[in-house]
Structure 1
């Protein structure tokens, strides 16, 4: 493996044309600039733009583009993919002998943005992850990675034809505690359990520890604004039937949390989401379209655990983003949402920072002939 902290490290980028199902065709030349942004709170979580000086017309409606970072030191070279996307033409500046095209590269989860086209049913006792696998195939997503879950639908479910495949998969993820679908650097889709920041394995060797392996600049921007950080959540979930009331769920940060209601001497900062669609039109058995067979007690008993889990999850996510650190760093491969250690030595003006963080956002910039650069936002993991 290349030493990413070495002072003599040389880095550049290269690009490839692919088929839509991600088979390599040839090298893509003439790239003038490339920019990739990842954000764990965005959907899709990754996107990119690329500018190309082309000598002849090209049809960018087909295929895909892959960006790779190349790092070399002491006779060793490492090439890693950084993004695989579906191109969409957003600009075309023409000159007499060449033109410059600007393309937006769409994350491969974009394949899931097509509507179902027909109602989709899940029978009572049916597997949620088996349905997700079927929906991925319907969308044309190949080579996906799905972690199977033992969770099954207790009473059956139905999604209308106007829902998108992404919406259905996201609703299932909420219901069974999974992370929303994401695409890796090779364009493969993943559907897997959500792991809370405090439970993720910590990799201390990502270049954010001061010392001989450090790959970030000494200046660190710290965001310490807690004024809008919630310490309780209130969620109301609607019922699919007019005559059956919805349910409400609340969650509070534990008292030991530095921003909890107890820690802030009773001060409550609420996070409210009203009329949330927890995902499905649910019925007992096969009578989903006959609400007369649905009792209020049955509905509340069935949906309350989903509402409780959703309220707890959004509170955990939103309460963990207030304290963050932004650094400029050398490119090195790491996954979004990875946990690592940040160590910044004390200065005359500021105390030492030594904390566990997760990668919540980063931007990779490249200009032809220059070294690629990164800006990374690290979110502190609350104990």
Structure 2
């Protein structure tokens, strides 16, 4: 347990706890000797979460007895006590990635463990045979089977009646996670992620503007945000039309989804520019016309609104990637990156993203 008193005047104490789990996520014991580390999360990575864990093993005390870094996992939790009320915020279940560095010194052994979240299990698992699904196969059922056949049992996927519109296939060696995310994208779902409890999740994509606000970063008497922040704007390459076509299949006509920006209030629209600037995506997977239409609209929204990125520092909060928040500027934004040091006195940083209104 890494612990210290935080902001004593406010009556707040905090600690980081690291629990050792089996490769089935069954609790074994608290992991002793942990002195620090870090976690980072990025919404644009297939394996979103990672980090490091550092331990000090004193001479004569085998804190790591029975730990198998090739199989065991760790659950990392932030524990806070505010005016006598205890809170626990889980931050994920992780496994060792790459080489564990052990270095002897006069006082014992220093250990550094590189970490990745549980989606790495499915990313590292290249299928041994050609994988194919026939026409009219239930997509969510196929995803669940891919997870289970990858040796994983903890998942929670939103049910769906969507079925494959054409036969689909992937060659041997394709990462299991790639197939899963291709199938989820075909029905308009979010990419698979491992949540703070280590459960695999995916659900229908919701436009950022429609997501419920999870935190308000605006200042005030109870502000948890550092006063310094800055915004950066990217407005290059803005299209006003997006065309998405599905893969061609023998005997099945491809679907075409088109979304156009005709809003005269938008600086990037056809009405303002007087010309079309088109982006095209060919070979998309979509199970229906409704899905491909929605995909075109989403692509246009994401590419035709210049992204504003805003990094903020704040106290440790129970926010996850994709959560909607109100930024210090009062805008509706989404968490796309996070970085946390496993130090009770440390602030965490989040990068927020918003889009200009089209």
| Interval containing the TM-score (normalised by the shorter chain) | 0.7 to 0.9
Partners of 2:262 and 2:331 lie apart in 1 by 20
Question: Aligned pair in 2 of structure 1 residues 269, 43: CA closer, same or farther (>3 Å)?
Answer: farther
Task: Report the Cα offset of residue 208 of structure 1.
Answer: 0.5
Select the residue among 282, 285, 292 that pairs with 1:278. 285
Match of 2:122 in 1: 112
CA deviation profile, 1:289-337 (whole Å, cap 9, x unmatched): xxxxxxxxxxxxx887765544433333344561122111011112221
Question: Aligned pair in 2 of structure 1 residues 201, 266: CA closer, same or farther (>3 Å)?
Answer: same
Match of 2:315 in 1: 330
Secondary structure of the equivalent of 2:231?
strand
In 2, are the aligned partners of 1:230 and 1:318 still within 8 Å (CA)?
yes
In 1, are the aligned partners of 2:337 and 2:350 still within 8 Å (CA)?
yes
Partners of 1:213 and 1:270 lie apart in 2 by 46
Match of 2:342 in 1: 366
Match of 2:175 in 1: 164
Secondary structure of the equivalent of 2:32?
coil
Secondary structure of the equivalent of 2:342?
strand
**Is 83-92 or 105-114 further displaced after alignment?**
83-92
Aligned pairs, number:
342
Question: Aligned pair in 2 of structure 1 residues 165, 91: CA closer, same or farther (>3 Å)?
Answer: closer
Task: Report the Cα offset of residue 19 of structure 1.
Answer: 0.8
- Structure 2, unpaired ranges of 5+: 1-6
In 1, are the aligned partners of 2:165 and 2:288 still within 8 Å (CA)?
no
- Are 2:77 and 1:101 equivalent residues in the alignment? no
Match of 1:287 in 2: none
Select the residue among 35, 38, 43 that pairs with 1:40. 43
Instruction: Please report the TM-score for the alignment, with normalisation by the length of structure 1.
Output: 0.78
Select the residue among 233, 236, 256 that pairs with 1:224. 233
Task: Report the Cα offset of residue 278 of structure 1.
Answer: 3.3
Counterpart mapping for 1:110-259 below 5 A = 110-113=120-123, 114-203=125-214, 206-233=215-242, 239=248, 251-253=259-261, 255=263, 258-259=266-267
Partners of 1:34 and 1:321 lie apart in 2 by 35
In 1, are the aligned partners of 2:322 and 2:336 still within 8 Å (CA)?
yes
Instruction: Please report the TM-score for the alignment, with normalisation by the length of structure 2.
Output: 0.83
**Is 260-269 or 29-38 further displaced after alignment?**
260-269
Match of 1:292 in 2: none
- Are 2:313 and 1:377 equivalent residues in the alignment? no
The RMSD of aligned alpha carbons is 3.1
In 1, are the aligned partners of 2:263 and 2:269 still within 8 Å (CA)?
yes
